[in-house]
Amino acid sequence: MDAFNDPKASDHQKAGVAKNTSRYWRSIEDEVRKFFAEKWTAWEQEKPKFLTKAWIAKLHDDMLPERVLAERRGGIFLESVLFVLLLEKMRERVR
């Protein structure tokens, strides 16, 4: 949380707080959510090095904009459907 409250900290340093367990940042949750809401669109346009799929995957759902969260949930659904289809194909081959 020290980095989040440091006025000299970069966006990457501040955003790193959300990768921690929510118990770590729960006391400043409103500030963290506001920070993410204010910065997300700019990050998508500016494409800073830290804004990777891997980094986003580590973030708590509460920190993601609704659109990104919907994409995450849709991707999980699609992956699970594809996994089930793959299992069915494998079972057919075994029979």
Q: How many residues does the chain have?
A: 95
pLDDT at 46 (0 to 100): 94
Contact between 16 and 3 under an 8 Å Cβ cutoff? The reply is yes
Residues 11 and 56 in one domain: yes
Please check whether residues 51 and 16 belong to one and the same domain.
yes
Nearest-angstrom CA–CA distance, 92 and 1: 53
Cα–Cα distance, 87 to 6 (Å, whole number): 50
Burial of 14 (0-12, 13-18, 19+ CB in 10 A): buried
Looking at residue 93, its pLDDT comes to 81
59 and 72 assigned to the same domain:
no
Q: What pLDDT does residue 43 have?
A: 93
Residues 13 and 49 reside in one and the same domain: yes
pLDDT tens across 40-82, in order? 999 999 999 988 888 888 888 878 888 888 877 776 656 666 6
Tally of structural domains, the chain:
2
Q: Are residues 7 and 52 in the same domain?
A: yes
pLDDT score recorded for residue 1: 57
Residue ranges making up the domain that contains 84: 65-95
